[in-house]
């Protein structure tokens, strides 16, 4: 027998936003807890973050692995003719992702430039079947925290910046994640 609670939960999991927004927040909180000043950014860490990002979504099965198929942006979903961009073939993704992690762990380039280049390279590699943008934005926070520039990071969700909503009060306050201590956890000295 289906209970009212079952129906509510089923409706909640059929609502993509209701599932993806908490996933974004959980992924960012995990990232904040697992990288501090001087720590290394690894492909495994990015995969662990991504697994949390995709938990309970239709893409959950892709969460723990780099893509193993060719993808492309825009154009036909069946062939890359007239596409806007074709990222590297899947057989190169693991090595390129490792190179990107090594670049992200350098201390020589200015941190803001390093985060921008790492994000741009990540989006160019497109190492995942889906969800590269959300994961790439998390990479920016990882670089800032590793370099000691973001001792406090807040797990923002793009839904908090929807058109027509007041955002000025959100700029100075973390969103209500249910655990404010996690949202305000400073990096280790």
pLDDT tens digits for 66-78?
Answer: 999 888 877 777 7
pLDDT tens digits for 80-114?
Answer: 777 888 899 999 999 999 999 999 999 989 999 99
Contact in structure between 49 and 31 (CB atoms under 8 Å): yes
Q: Is residue 5 part of a domain?
A: no
Q: Is residue 123 part of a domain?
A: yes
Write out the residue range of the structural domain in which residue 86 sits: 14-170+177-183
What the block records as the tokens of 163 is 């058109």
pLDDT tens digits for 45-62?
Answer: 999 999 998 888 887 887
Give the distance between the most distant pair of CA atoms in the chain: 62
Q: Is residue 1 part of a domain?
A: no
At 65, which CATH number? Answer: 1.10.3290.10
Q: How many domains does the chain have?
A: 1
What the block records as the tokens of 131 is 């969800």
More confident residue, 157 or 133: 133
Q: What is the DSSP string of 57-96?
A: STTGGGTTS---S---BSS-SS--TT-SB----HHHHHHH
Q: Is residue 50 part of a domain?
A: yes
| Residues paired with residue 85 on neighbouring β-strands, in sequence order | 73
Nearest alpha-carbon partner for 67 in 118, 125, 23, 135: 125
Q: Is residue 3 part of a domain?
A: no
Name the band, by pLDDT with cuts 50, 70 and 90, for residue 11. low
């Amino acid at each position: 027998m289906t209970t009212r609670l079952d129906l509510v939960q089923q409706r909640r999991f059929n609502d993509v936003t209701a599932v993806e927004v908490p996933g974004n927040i959980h992924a960012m909180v995990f990232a904040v807890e697992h990288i501090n000043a001087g720590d290394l950014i690894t492909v495994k860490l990015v995969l662990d973050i991504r697994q949390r990002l995709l938990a309970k979504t239709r893409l959950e099965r892709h969460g723990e692995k780099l893509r193993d198929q060719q993808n492309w942006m825009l154009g036909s979903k069946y062939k890359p003719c007239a596409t806007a961009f074709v990222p590297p073939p899947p057989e190169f993704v693991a090595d390129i992702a490792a190179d990107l992690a090594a670049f992200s762990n350098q201390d020589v380039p200015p941190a803001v430039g390093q985060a921008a280049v790492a994000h741009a390279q990540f989006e160019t590699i497109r190492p995942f079947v889906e969800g590269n943008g959300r994961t790439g934005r998390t990479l920016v926070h990882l670089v800032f925290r590793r370099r000691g520039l973001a001792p406090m990071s807040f797990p923002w969700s793009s839904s908090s910046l929807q058109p027509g909503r007041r955002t000025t009060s959100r700029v100075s306050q973390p969103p209500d994640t249910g655990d404010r201590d996690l949202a305000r956890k400073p990096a280790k000295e």
